[in-house]
Structures are given as C-alpha cells and as structure tokens.
Structure 1
Amino acid sequence: MAERMLQFVRLDQRQPEKRAAETRRADFGEIYKEFEPQAATAQASRCSQCGVPFCQVHCPLNNNIPDWLKLTAEGRLEEAYEVASATNTFPEICGRICPQDRLCEGNCVIEKGFGSVTIGSVEKYITDTAWERGWVKPPKPRRELAQSVGIVGAGPAGLAAAERLRVRGYQVHVYDRYDRVGGLMIYGIPNFKLEKDVVLRRWKQYEEGGIHFHLNTAVGQDVSLAELRARHDSVLIGTGVYKAREMSAPGIGLDGIVPALDYLTAANRVGLGEAVPAFASGALDATGKHVVVIGGGDTAMDCVRTAVRQGATSVTCLYRRDKANMPGSMREVYNAEEEGVRFEWLGAPEAFRGEGHVKGVIAHRMHLGLPDATGRQQVTPMPDSRFELPADLVIMALGFDPEDLPTAFGEKDLPVTRWGTLKVDHRTMMTALPGVFAAGDIVRGASLVVWAIRDGRDAAEQMDLYMQQKASPLAVAAE
C-alpha cells in the first residue's frame, strides 16, 4: 500500500484546472475542467489511509472514501465506482455541489500542513468516467414485487428512495408538480455548479429501470394524498422546502425586490431554452443593473454569481456577519470574489428606498458579540452606522421554510412541528398516518442535497421493512 498511497509527503494538493474568472464570467459552464487521469490518480494516492477516516465520519452518507481513493490510485476505476455508488445514489452530483470544505475535505487528517485530499474532484472524475464507459446501469430488480410505492417529490430525497425501492422490486411511481425531474437540482442550482444534463440523464436512466414519473401533477390539486394512499402500499413525502423567508422593513414591497428562488428558477429555465416572461420583461434579469443580494448561504452565492454572468453593472452581497461566519461554502465565496462580487460584511438591511421601484438598500453596520446557544456569535446593530447601497434589483436569499402541507394536501391529520416541517417518528421515518413516510428537507428543514440523499435512502429501508411486515403471513392472519 505504501508505494501507491500516503503520497501527501511528496505530492502537493492540486484541484482540476479552474477556468479564468474573466472567461467563466461570460457563460454558465462548469468552472472546473476535467481531471486528467494521471492527475486524478496522483491526487487519490495522497490519501493517508488513516485508521479512523474522519472524511467518512463527517460525510452524511458515510461514503467509503479511503477505499475508493485507493482503488483510483491503483487504476481500478470500475471497482472504485462500485464502492462509491454503493452508499451514494448520485456521486456525480455530490462530487460537484457538496461543500467538501465543510464536510469530508475539511476533516481530512492531512489538511493541516499538507492540504486535504481533493475528494470531491476525484469522486466527480470516477463517476464521470463511469458514465462515459457505460458502467452506470438502470435500477432494475432481480424480481418484481406486486406492492407499489408512491413518492411525492422528484428531488434528491424522492429520487434516492425511488432508486432503492426499485432495486428491491417495488413498482415505484414518482409524482412532481414540475415539468422535469430533479427539484432544486434542476431549478435552484445554477449550471456553473451543476450542468443540467448531469441530472436529466438520471431521469432517463430511471425510466429505463421501470420507475414511473407523473410530472405536472400537484398533490392536493391533481390528485389527493388520500388517493395516493389508496393507490399505493406506502407513500413517501419528499417535497423539500420552497417557501422564501420574509423580512419586515420599510419599502419591502417595492418592485425589484425578489425572492432568490424565483430569480434562480427563471435563470435556469432560460438556460433550458424556455421562454420566461418575468425574465423577458427584465424583472428577473440582472443585465445592466446594480444588484444587491441579501444573505450569506450557498443560495446567496448562487445568486451573486448568476447576476455576474447575466451582465450586472455591479453585484454586492450584504451579510450581517463577517466572512469567517458565513454559513455557506467558503470555496464558493472565493469563487465569487474572483468573479468580481463585492462583499459588504457586517451589514444588515433596515429599509429600501425608491418610488414604485427599488433604488437603494439602506443598511447599518453590525457588531459581533458573544456566541449564543448554537455557538454562533450574536450580532447587534452599531449606533450611527447607516449607509446606502445603490440597487435596481434586490434578491432576498434569507433561507426557506416549509409550505403548509396539511392545507395544500387537504390532509388535516398530517402532523407538523412548530417549524412547519413534517413530524415523523425518527426511528421509522413514518408520520402519524400509517404507511405515509417523509424524508429530506420537509423533515429536517432546508439543508444539503447530500443529506436529502441520505434521508431518502434511509426512508426506503424503513418503507421496505413496513411493506414486508404488512405482507407477511403473520400480519395477514392478524388482520
């Protein structure tokens, strides 16, 4: 092993080549070039193969990272893909959009002093190679089962559960209110992080595997939850959270102040070749405008970097804490800075100026105080610190809350928590409605794609157990 691995002592950390900022500002293509095979093999060989792999411990999917790094270093790529895909339904997506600097790479034991192994880039290289060489197969079962499953939501949680249940032989039906499969992976994440073909090819593959998709189908309008429960042996709700958080401030109702998801969805739909009236009118187009994005998470970074590519005159991110306390990926912050985004740290909005249409954001400076119960430093406004930012378009990236699903689904007995997320038994992932499970953001709140995948896979395990127990002779006799 020593000849192949532990090469961090002689090899420096190297990411795939990144396109120059001036070049990538002009298009929506992914910013990293493909890893050359020799470079990917060399970077994989830097793994220390430590006894306690903290990269794996801090991965929500507990991916067997040291194992597939070793296989990659040895040139055994097909085996590396088999190991990677055994725990991860979408390794090609996680390799692109996971905040590795906060998860696996951020906890790599050689990070201090040598620089972490480039885990995400190697994962992307392995799975892109697998797709090119035809190693990725549709989820076809060894035997078909009579039981059927209904899954509400074609995002990462729903798709992960659909794949696991289809492999077990269930008849899987996925219902989604949108016209494409992928949820926020299609409509929320920009192409420069995740090109849409990467997601859409999974849709085609899953259809080949026998998963049935019912698109443009809104539960509560086109079909009721009660109908789905009668139609299927179990149901999974994996709708995600889409309701934008709001703030109260003078001028908040001015034209030109828009939710982040509306802005990103319009940009992604235009990129998919659709006509989007709100974009065509200029309402959701940043071209030639002074843009201010309020927020500090990954969604805010997606917005500022999209505005740059649309040709905004200026792009400013207004965040009430400092750079060290950004909740999003620091790698995304660096990419935004390279592309010309200006950051106003320790600034919070207090009002919006304009007559009919927004013309400026009035803000004040904040002071970081002592940590609160969560460990984050509290912020308080500083006296006499008001300043103004010119703004023709203000994008509110303050996070997302759940929609009122009991009302939307017409199911008053569907319980929710005080935060509006669905209440489940966390051992079984089942709601108070027998046979109705829930997973992903609609349970844990707005989170990462990788956590949604984990939740979807876990829910599939519990649904399988529930249906097998229900179909057992003992259960039938008891009924």
Structure 2
Amino acid sequence: MAKQPMLKFVSVERETPEKRDADVRAHDFDEIYAEYAQAKAEEQASRCSQCGVPYCQSHCPLHNNIPDWLNLTATGRLEEAYAISQATNTFPEICGRICPQDRLCEGNCVIEQSGHGTVTIGAVEKYITDTAWEKGWVKPPAPAQEREESVGIIGAGPGGLAAADMLRRAGVQVTVYDRYDRAGGLLTYGIPGFKLEKDVVMRRVEQLEAGGVEFVLNCTVGDDISFDAIRGKHDAVLIATGVYKTRELTGPNAEAEGIVRAIDYLTCSNKVSFGDEVEEYLNGELNAKGKKVVVVGGGDTAMDCVRTAIRQGAESVKCLYRRDRKNMPGSQREVQNAEEEGVEFVWLSNPVGFTTGVIEPEGAGAGAGRVRQALVQRMRLGQPDATGRQSPEVIEGSDYAEEADIVIKALGFEPEDLPKLWNADGLEVTRWGTIRADFGTGRTSLDRVYAVGDIVRGASLVVWAIRDGRDCAAAILEDLAAPASVAAE
C-alpha cells in the first residue's frame, strides 16, 4: 500500500521560508523571504489535511483550488500544480507574495484551529509559480482564433491586467490605457520591492505584450484622450483606475511643506528603485534619509511607508495610529516585520495639528513653512462603531508634540470624481463616489461600459481586483456575443 503523502501536520511542524536578518534587509529593497527548496515545499504542502470542506478555498476571493495544488506539490507534480493554480488566478506569484494570507486562506485553515499551525499556503503558491517561470511553463495568451471585437481598458493595475489576460485568451483585441510610464498600477508603484520585486510584475506585463495586448502609457484620460474617444474606438470599455485620492489630515498647518501623500512617497521610491532620476527624491522632498519620519495610519500602505523610510536611512520612524494593535486594519505580519526593522508604533494616538518653522542649516527642503512637530492627542477605545470596532475617544489633557521632519499621510484612498474629470454624463456613482457597477459582472449605467476593482469597491485587496477583472472579462465576452440592447439590460 502506498504511503499517505498528505495529513502530515501531526508529525511535521509549520515552517515558513527563511526570513533575512532585519539588520541586513533594512538596507535594501530586496524581498525579505527566501524561496522554499523543492523538498521543503513538498514537506510543507504535505501538512494539508485535505478537508472535505476546505475553508481556505472558500475564504479565498478567487476560490483557488488550494487543497488540490498542495497535494500535487507534495507528490512532486509541480507542472500540474501550476496549471491548477493558474486556472483560477491570473497572477499566483503576486498573490503568494502580497496577499494577507493570515486574514484569508491561512487564517481559516482547519488545522490552525486544532493547534497544529496553518499550512504555509502563500509560500507554497509563490514557490509553484516561480518554479513555473524558471521551467518555462508560463506562456503568453495564445488564442485559438482571433476576434474582431476590441476592448479598451482604462487602468493597468491588477484588475485591468487580469481582464486583459482573460480577454486576449479569448481572441479579443485589447488596448490598455494608463497614466503612468509603466504598467502595473499599484503593483508597480504602490508596493515596495521588499514585498514585491518589480521584475515579477514586469515579466507579466511583457508576457501580456507578447500575447498581443497593446499598452498606451503616459496617457491620462480626460487630458490626453477623452473618455468618449475611447468608447468610440472600442466595442466595450472597462474602467479599472483604482482609487488615488488621498484622505487628508486636518488641523492647523495640515498643508505645511513636508507633509506628503503616501502614494507620492511610495511612487517616488519605486521609481528610484527602477533607476529613474526623480527630482523630489534628489532634493529631499520625498526622501527620508537622515530625517525624523512620522507616518499617520494603520493600514498596509502605512506599513509600506514606514518600512520604506527605514531603508532610505531615516533617523527615526514612528507610526501613529488612533486605535490599538489589535484593531488596526493592516497585516499583523507586516507590523512584526516593521518592528524588527526599527519602526516604533505609537498606538492610540491621533495628530490634530502641526507646528512649522525654519530648518537649519538652510538647504534642500528647508524653509520657514516646513513641518517641525505633529501635535498629538492620546486616545482610548470606547463603544463599538457601526463596523463593530471600538471607536477612539480623546483623553483630555493628554496632548503632546512629536518631532517630525516629514509626515506621511497614509489614511486611505478615495475615488476621484471620474464623471466630472472625464465629462462622462450618465456614468452613475454611489454616495461614496465609487462607480455604481454590478459586483458580479462589472456592468455600469452606460451601455458596454464596465468597472472593476477599487473604483467600485473602494480601497481593497489586490486579490479582489483580480477576481473582479476575471469575472468582468467573462461578462464582456457574453455581452459582445449579444445585441447591445440585450447587454445593457
């Protein structure tokens, strides 16, 4: 009788890939986790209990067939494991790196509930696809037959790229428009290299290009080309812009020099990592070197900012968040990584204003209107709000000043007013400013105009954008085969 290759969680302990020492990794933007060796990947995959009802799969937005590709990995059938993984996920090597597995698949692993430690799903997923790239198993979209219909996609982020991949595989002609000089959106410019090295994103973009997807970059809709022009050129249009409008700080001097947006800060850092010359980095405006850095926020974007500041050589880095560690929205794994690298978290704290003054000696970034301090109120947690989380309350008389040479706003993102910016009459939005679209298909109020990802959901996860893009591509293919009047219903 053959030996049981799975269910080894009772004899094999959970073991994550080796993490580089904090003192070393804090000086570069390389990914911090090593790759599994084949034997270790097979061993860790063999810990899966092969549940009859796999909660890991049901709690994955893409409903990836996780138990199946864990079994195939454990038995050395990696090419088949990759095929199963790719069948439901356009970018498994990206999700394996940046998905908050502790809140999704791994956080719902059955053996975790039994005290044996969750299966390292994300690390195995990353190993499978990285191996597939090395072996040449990953192929560009190659439709069996070309179609005449074309689709214009506005936004080259994860949702737009996932839809582009699915549409090209069906033979549709696809053009992607994006405001940046490189495709990838958040994947390219919003996430630092220590979480997602940029060659991982660029090789996917290059593969889409090789498969026939056309990219029109440095193209801002509403300025360089009108929304109506895009609609006129294509049989269908997909809006996948994401959300980039920063939530603002309030209080005295909240607009002072040295108070910057997280997206500007991270984009600048990533451009520098590509080898670009960025004036705001060279003159010190978006460079934390030698500065006292204060980041305001508790989500994953805030974690990206504090860890980037450490790598840029900041004198000190503090993260202010108005709730406690337990109630923060960001990944606990990222908080731990940041603390290891030297970030100080100031929980239950909220800036209510800023002081400014002259920085001596005068030089790059110096001036009378630059931020010098964040004025902070101490908080405590009161009654739960509408979301069920405890609302922060001010502790009277607890104010203090936190020195700061640069303050980074990482309070979250809101949608831009696209109907106004694009002169898109009839494009309906919700009261939050997101585009009103069907979550299952992406259909909007305009005929054969679709929307997916954060511009519909609000700021969310990359894996949800991928899910939306894939689902919307299926709806577009269905509608292209139907009369326009039927598709609009």
Q: What TM bracket, shorter-length normalisation? A: over 0.9
Distance 1:238 1:354 in 2: 39
1:319 equivalent in alignment to 2:321: yes
After superposition, the C-alpha distances for 1:195-218 in whole angstroms (9 at most, x for unaligned) are 000000011111111111111122
1:298 equivalent in alignment to 2:311: no
1:274 equivalent in alignment to 2:287: no
Distance 1:475 1:362 in 2: 58
How do 1:224-263 residues align onto structure 2 when only pairs under 5 Å count? 224-263=226-265
What secondary structure sits across from 1:154 in the alignment? Answer: coil
Distance 1:403 1:168 in 2: 32
> 2:476 corresponds to which letter in structure 1?
M
Distance 2:231 2:255 in 1: 41
- Deviation of 1:326 (Å): 1.1
How do 1:190-205 residues align onto structure 2 when only pairs under 5 Å count? 190-205=192-207
1:179 equivalent in alignment to 2:192: no
Which residue in 2 is equivalent to 1:422? Answer: 435
Which residue in 1 is equivalent to 2:35? Answer: 34
After superposition, the C-alpha distances for 1:417-470 in whole angstroms (9 at most, x for unaligned) are 111101113454211110100000000001110000000011101111110112
Q: Which runs of 5+ in 1 are unaligned?
A: none
What secondary structure sits across from 2:381 in the alignment? Answer: strand
Which residue in 1 is equivalent to 2:156? Answer: 154
| Contact in 1 for aligned 2:140/2:211 (Cα 8 Å) | yes
1:392 equivalent in alignment to 2:405: yes
- Deviation of 1:55 (Å): 0.5
Distance 2:377 2:370 in 1: 21
Which residue in 2 is equivalent to 1:448? Answer: 461
> 2:18 corresponds to which letter in structure 1?
E
Distance 1:10 1:387 in 2: 52
Out of 415, 435, 438, the position equivalent to 2:448 is: 435
Given the two structures, how large is their TM-score scaled by the length of structure 1? 0.97
What secondary structure sits across from 1:12 in the alignment? Answer: coil
How do 1:351-362 residues align onto structure 2 when only pairs under 5 Å count? 351-355=353-357, 356-362=369-375
- Deviation of 1:411 (Å): 1.1
Closer, same or farther: CA 34–425 of 1 in aligned 2, 3 Å: closer
Which residue in 1 is equivalent to 2:84? Answer: 83
Out of 276, 279, 286, the position equivalent to 2:288 is: 286
| Contact in 1 for aligned 2:317/2:343 (Cα 8 Å) | yes
Which residue in 2 is equivalent to 1:101? Answer: 102
Which residue in 2 is equivalent to 1:4? Answer: 5
What secondary structure sits across from 1:385 in the alignment? Answer: coil
Which residue in 2 is equivalent to 1:469? Answer: 482
How do 1:103-122 residues align onto structure 2 when only pairs under 5 Å count? 103-112=104-113, 113-122=115-124
Distance 1:475 1:89 in 2: 29
After superposition, the C-alpha distances for 1:257-315 in whole angstroms (9 at most, x for unaligned) are 10111100110000111111011110100000010100000000000000000000000
Which residue in 1 is equivalent to 2:361? Answer: none
Runs ≥4 residues deviating over 3 A: 425-428
Distance 2:250 2:311 in 1: 30
- Deviation of 1:344 (Å): 0.3
Distance 1:380 1:92 in 2: 42
| Corresponding residue pairs, total | 474
1:364 equivalent in alignment to 2:409: no
- Deviation of 1:2 (Å): 6.8
| Contact in 1 for aligned 2:377/2:399 (Cα 8 Å) | yes
- Deviation of 1:370 (Å): 2.1
Distance 2:241 2:431 in 1: 18
How do 1:46-65 residues align onto structure 2 when only pairs under 5 Å count? 46-65=47-66
* Root mean square deviation, CA, Å: 1.3
Distance 1:32 1:51 in 2: 31
Which deviates the most, 364-373 or 399-408? 364-373
How do 1:217-228 residues align onto structure 2 when only pairs under 5 Å count? 217-228=219-230
> 1:437 corresponds to which letter in structure 2?
Y
Given the two structures, how large is their TM-score scaled by the length of structure 2? 0.95
After superposition, the C-alpha distances for 1:308-358 in whole angstroms (9 at most, x for unaligned) are 000000000000000001101110000001001000000111111122111
> 1:164 corresponds to which letter in structure 2?
M
Which residue in 2 is equivalent to 1:131? Answer: 133
Which residue in 2 is equivalent to 1:22? Answer: 23
After superposition, the C-alpha distances for 1:28-55 in whole angstroms (9 at most, x for unaligned) are 1000011111111100000011111111
| Contact in 1 for aligned 2:440/2:468 (Cα 8 Å) | no
What secondary structure sits across from 1:350 in the alignment? Answer: strand
What secondary structure sits across from 1:383 in the alignment? Answer: coil
Distance 2:57 2:203 in 1: 27
> 1:60 corresponds to which letter in structure 2?
P
Which residue in 1 is equivalent to 2:360? Answer: none
Identity of aligned residues (%): 62
- Deviation of 1:373 (Å): 2.1
Distance 1:2 1:451 in 2: 38
What secondary structure sits across from 2:61 in the alignment? Answer: coil
What secondary structure sits across from 1:213 in the alignment? Answer: strand
- Deviation of 1:475 (Å): 7.5
